Chains A and B, each alone.
Chain A
Amino acid sequence: MSEEALIRMLSGVARDGATRAGRGLSGLMGQQISIEVPNVRVGTKTDACDAVGGEECLVLGAYLTISGDITGHVMLLFPEARALECVDLMCGQPPGTTTEPDDLAHSAIGELGNIVGSAFVNALADDLNLILHPSPPAILHDMAIALVETVYAEVLSQGGDVVMMDAVFEDEKGRTAGLLIVAPDPASVERLLGVAA
């Protein structure tokens, strides 16, 4: 299958997943969240991190693995300052209450990753009639590119190329409210395309 055809097929899957994930994020943050048209990228592209401030930008987020009929990786990343704002919104606190990524912030971000990541995974499962299980979230606090390139390495170590779906969420003020990245393992890309067809 050509790269264009692969991207076209996965775009439909990504759009539905991102819509549901965005709804999850809206519910938690108590405000309207819009979603840019999700991207499907093939290969190790560093511009995947641009939405959260570029390669070295410090992000806070959550990472989940997918198991079941397909396997893969899900990551929800926020620029650190935005993550802290999310925590205040989720906890019903005045903005600026959370000033550092403490235990409460970690727990809130883990919950956010859990709900938003699972929403995407469940959309995949429903649309394609698959049984999928998201793992509990691991909390991430690091440079954006270090996290993304590690997912690239995990996928590429299994052979094949890396295919990554990503969606940027925006808040009511049009600012980046988060970046969701989903990368199926290579054997699962084939499986996804098979069932999507």
Chain B
Amino acid sequence: MTAPAADARRVSVGIGQLAISKDGNDVLVAYGLGSCIGISCYDPQAKVGGLAHVLLPSSDGKRVEDREPARFADTGIDLLVKRLCDAGAVPRRLIVKIAGGAAVLGPANAEKFKIGERNADAIKERLKRHGISPAATDIGGSKGRTLEVHVISGKTYVRTAASPASEL
């Protein structure tokens, strides 16, 4: 069976949150990523999935608050990889896909606000430190995205307000 059951549990991963699951009934979802970026990870051998919803590129040494463990790309990715490993995943086996980082506040502001772009750069850089390069990305543009990963198969889907879900 590679598709989640009809009664799959959709786990919403909000701003600055991360979730890890080994339950094939779970679909981890980051709704409405604007300049934020969703990082989905899957270890096909350990059958463990993870999703983080990163808001900002760098913690700049600031303490990470418990209520938003994945607010920053640097500390968020370190924690995501650690939690995945705690659940039996191995970093070199991880299939990592990232989506988001759009400039949604109009073309005139896209030049001024570059958080999405900075988030994407910071995330790729931090993943590299863990020896990971993303298998697929859907970054930038001007539209918000919803990213989901199906724990049963590791399949990852992206949709926007204007376009239906497509596999990433």
A: residues with CB less than 8 A from B are 44, 46, 55-56, 58, 63, 65, 135-136, 138-154, 156-157
Residues of chain A within 8 A (CB-CB) of B161 are 58, 141-143
User: Smallest CB–CB gap between B71 and chain A, Å?
Assistant: 8
B42 close to chain A: CB less than 8 A = no
Once the chains are docked, how many angstroms separate the CA of A157 from the CA of B112?
13
Name A157's contact: one of B16, B115, B144, B145 (CB within 8 Å).
B115
B105 partner residues in chain A, CB cutoff 8 A? 63, 138, 140, 147, 150-151
**B109 to chain A: which residues have CB within 8 Å?**
63, 65, 138
Using Cβ atoms and an 8 Å threshold, which residues of chain A touch B119?
A: 153
B105 to A, closest residue via Cβ: A63
Contact across chains for B56 and A56 when beta carbons are under 8 A apart: no
Most chain A C-beta atoms within 10 Å of own C-beta, residue among B16, B32, B68: B32
Residues of A within 8 A of B16 (CB): 44
Q: Mark B51-74, 1 if CB is under 8 A from A, else 0.
A: 000011100000000001001000
Say whether chain B's binding surface is mostly helix, strand, loop, or mixed. Answer: loop
Known contacts A143-B32, A146-B104; 12 additional CB pairs below 8 A are A44-B68, A46-B14, A63-B109, A135-B108, A138-B108, A139-B106, A140-B105, A145-B31, A145-B34, A147-B104, A150-B113, A154-B35
Please tell me if B139 contacts chain A, counting CB pairs below 8 Å: no
B32 touches A145 (CB 8 A): yes
Contact of A56 among B14, B32, B34 (CB under 8 A): B32
Q: How far is the CA of A150 from the CA of B37 in the complex (A)?
A: 11
Summed over the interface, the residue pairs from A and B with CB atoms below 8 Å come to a total of 94
- State in angstroms the CA–CA spacing of A22 and B61 once bound together: 43
Could you tell me if B32 and A149 are in contact, using CB atoms closer than 8 angstroms?
yes
Assembly CA distance A146 to B146 (angstroms): 9
Residues of A within 8 A of B80 (CB): none
Q: Are B15 and A152 in contact (CB under 8 A)?
A: yes
Smallest beta-carbon distance B111→chain A, Å: 12
- Establish whether residues A142 and B56, one from each chain, have CB atoms under 8 Å apart when the complex forms: no
Q: Which residue of B lies closest to A139 (CB)?
A: B106
> Is B143 close to A, CB under 8 A?
yes
Count of chain B residues with Cβ under 8 Å from any Cβ of A?
32
Q: Which of B132-165 contact A (CB under 8 A)?
A: 143-146, 160-161
A139 to B104, CA, bound (A): 10
> B24-46: which have CB < 8 Å to A?
31-36
**B48 CB–A CB distance under 8 Å:** no
Contacts A65-B109, A142-B104: A147 and B56 contacting too (C-beta < 8 A)?
A: no
Chain A nearest CB from B147 CB (Å) reads 11
Partner of B36, one of A56, A58, A142, A149: A149
A152-B31 in contact (CB<8A): no
A157 and B33 contact, CB distance less than 8 A: no
Residue of B nearest to A75 (CB): B105
Interface string of B83-105 (1 = CB under 8 A from A): 00000000000000000001011
The answer, yes or no, to whether B131 is at the interface (CB within 8 Å) is no
Bound-state CA distance A97–B158 (Å) is 33
Which residues of chain A come closer than 8 Å to B104, judged between CB atoms?
140, 142, 146-147, 150
7 A-B interface contacts by CB (under 8 A) = A44-B16, A56-B146, A63-B105, A136-B108, A145-B144, A146-B32, A149-B15
- Assess A157 versus B31: contact at CB under 8 Å? Given A44-B16, A44-B68: no
Q: B146, A46: Cβ atoms under 8 Å?
A: no
Asked whether, in the complex, the Cβ of A142 is within 8 Å of the Cβ of B144, the reply is yes
